[in-house]
Amino acid sequence: MNDMSAAHVPVMLDRVVELLSPALDTPGSVLVDATLGLAGHAHALLTALPQARLVGIDRDPVALERAERRLSDNADRVDLVHAVYDEIPGVLDDLGVDRVAGILLDLGVSSPQLDEPQRGFAYSHEAPLDMRMDPTQERTAADVVNGATVGELTRILRDYGEERFASRVARAIADERVTTPIETTTHLADLVREAIPAATRRTGGNPAKRTFQALRIEVNSELSTLERALPAAAARLAVGGRIAVLSYHSLEDRITKRALAALATDTTPPDLPVSLPECQPEVRLLTRGAETPTPEETQHNPRSASARLRAAERVRQP
């Protein structure tokens, strides 16, 4: 195991294992970790559940290489696939797997992506303005910053970064790129800082945080991918199978909440006297709202502070 894997602290690990384990305690049960990262959750689940099999998916080839090393002790129970998590149905079809017992989605940017400056996710280090979770894809954050219209940039920053001053930041970017392409993280971070009113800059952390979040979501199509992935993934759960989703900002959590709530709702027309079998809920919610890390965990692992965990169990076939 490399040092980064050893130091990596999976978010809400015990609770994730607790929620998923009851569905994975039979021989040959399949767990899909669709955002494998450094495989912290997957390693713990394979250790706790010696009869389970893992399908590990990640869009980042570097993450898959590191995960393969971390999971080497259980290599005979592991299939690793380079894919985006909305491709779960195709991945399972290729492996000859129909239904699965567990699905984990640990969303957002992974620790190695944040910790390696050259990936361009962090505003605190000078690096190329990249932000691709999958380095094999073409479009980078620099392409968005230098190629999108002012209107497009404003929408991206407002909708994905919840940036109050989206139009000001977008205009500052457009004015700058006329003479100098914006190609580094520090160049962009400095521009954003200057565009935000001074009174606002004094509170709330680095003013570039929201812009960087918005660009990362845009470059990696994170929200549209999640909207496609949740119903597609849940449809592959066997009855009794469970799905757990860790979100790290309100936009992800809102999509997750809506998707799971829709599956947990009886859709029988209100004018009918009895619930129709085909309209009864497909899942039952396992969490009351979104669960959050304990104060002890956030103190030990500050990156977990924004985490929100939701889970559900399939109770009937779709």
Residue 1 has pLDDT above 50, yes or no: no
- For 24-35, what is each residue's pLDDT tens digit? 999 999 999 999
* Overall pTM surpassing 0.85 (yes/no): yes
Give 230's Cβ-side CA count (13 Å radius): 27
**Cβ atoms of 251 and 225 closer than 8 Å:** no
Phi and psi (nearest 5°) for 102?
-150, 145
pLDDT of residue 287: 97
Using CA of residue 81, residue 85, residue 91, residue 92, what is the dihedral sign? positive
Residue 54 has pLDDT above 80, yes or no: yes
- For 172-181, what is each residue's pLDDT tens digit? 999 999 999 9
Could you tell me the two tokens for 28? 């040959």
Question: What's the rounded Cα separation, in Å, for the pair 307 and 232?
Answer: 23
CA distances from 248 to 18, 115, 125, 144, 194 (A): 20, 17, 22, 23, 27
pLDDT of residue 122: 82
pLDDT of residue 4: 43
Bridge partner list, 80: 56
pLDDT band of residue 2 (cuts 50, 70, 90) is: very low
10-21 mean pLDDT: 96
Phi and psi (nearest 5°) for 37?
55, -130
Lowest mean pLDDT among 54-63, 105-114, 204-213, 267-276: 105-114
Question: What's the rounded Cα separation, in Å, for the pair 116 and 56?
Answer: 22
Question: What's the rounded Cα separation, in Å, for the pair 95 and 89?
Answer: 10
Please state whether 288 falls in left (phi above 0), alpha (psi between -120 and 50) or beta. beta
pLDDT band of residue 100 (cuts 50, 70, 90) is: very high
Question: What residues contact 116, with CB distance under 8 A and at least 6 apart?
Answer: none
pLDDT of residue 207: 87
Question: What's the rounded Cα separation, in Å, for the pair 222 and 124?
Answer: 22
What share of the chain has pLDDT > 90, as a percent? 84
123-130 mean pLDDT: 89
Nearest to 310 by CA among 284, 282, 286: 286
Greater confidence (161 vs 123) lies with: 161
pLDDT of residue 170: 98
pLDDT of residue 111: 66
Lowest mean pLDDT among 78-87, 126-135, 165-174, 224-233: 126-135
Question: What's the rounded Cα separation, in Å, for the pair 291 and 271?
Answer: 35
Question: What's the rounded Cα separation, in Å, for the pair 221 and 18?
Answer: 30
Residue 127 has pLDDT above 70, yes or no: yes
Question: What's the rounded Cα separation, in Å, for the pair 80 and 34?
Answer: 10
- Please return the burial class of 307, using the count of CB atoms within 10 Å of its CB with bins 0-12, 13-18 and 19+: buried
Q: How many CB atoms lie within 10 A of CB 227?
A: 16
pLDDT of residue 199: 76
Residue 116 has pLDDT above 80, yes or no: no
Residue 113 has pLDDT above 90, yes or no: no
